[in-house]
C-alpha cells in the first residue's frame, strides 16, 4: 500500500468542512467523512488514481474526484501528498504568476 500524507491546508479544510456540515446536517457530515476515507483508501490502493482535467496547473499534480469533492495531490518517492481538498463547486485556488519576470530573476535554461 502507498503512503498517503495530507498537507496542513488540506487537513484544515477537512476539519472546517466537517464542522460546518455537523452544524447544519449530521447526515451530510457523515457522507463527507465517508468521502474522505474513500479518497484515502483509493489513493493507498491505486497510487496512480486521479486525472489532470480537474487538477491544479502544477506539473505532476493529479486530482482525484470522489463524490462532490476534489483531492489535489502530488506524488514523490512513492508517497501521495494531498495538498488541497475542495468541493467541486468551489473555485480552484491558483497562485498568482507575474507575466514579466525581472531580469535579475530570469532563468536562461527552461525548467
Helix H, strand E, coil C: the string for 40-78 is HHHHHHCCCCCECCCCCCCCCCEEEEECCEEEEEEEECC
Q: What is the distance between the alpha carbons of residues 23 and 9, in angstroms, rounded to a whole number?
A: 21
Domain carrying residue 27: 3-89
Residue 23 placed within a domain: yes
What is the domain count for the chain? 1
| Per-residue model confidence as pLDDT tens for the chain (111 residues) | 889 999 999 999 999 999 999 999 999 999 999 999 999 999 999 878 887 766 566 777 889 999 999 999 998 888 999 999 998 777 655 544 444 545 554 444 444
In a domain, 102, yes or no: no
- CATH, residue 36: 3.30.2310.20
Max CA pair span of the chain: 55
Q: What is the DSSP string of 20-40?
A: HHHHH-HHHHHHHHHHHHHHH
Give me the residues paired with residue 5 across strands: 81
In a domain, 110, yes or no: no
CA distance 33 to 15: 10
Dihedral of the alpha carbons of 34, 54, 97, 86, in degrees to the nearest 10: -20
Residue 70 lies in a domain: yes
Amino acid at each position: 500500500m502507498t503512503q498517503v500524507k495530507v498537507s496542513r491546508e488540506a487537513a484544515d479544510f477537512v476539519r472546517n468542512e466537517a464542522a460546518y456540515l455537523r452544524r447544519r446536517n449530521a447526515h451530510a457530515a457523515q457522507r463527507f467523512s465517508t468521502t474522505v476515507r474513500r479518497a484515502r483508501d483509493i489513493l493507498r490502493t491505486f497510487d496512480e488514481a486521479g486525472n489532470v482535467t480537474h487538477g491544479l496547473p502544477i506539473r505532476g499534480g493529479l486530482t482525484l474526484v470522489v463524490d462532490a469533492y476534489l483531492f489535489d495531490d502530488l506524488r514523490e518517492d512513492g508517497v501521495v501528498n494531498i495538498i488541497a481538498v475542495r468541493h467541486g463547486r468551489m473555485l480552484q485556488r491558483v497562485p498568482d504568476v507575474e507575466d514579466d519576470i525581472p531580469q535579475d530573476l530570469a532563468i536562461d535554461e527552461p525548467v
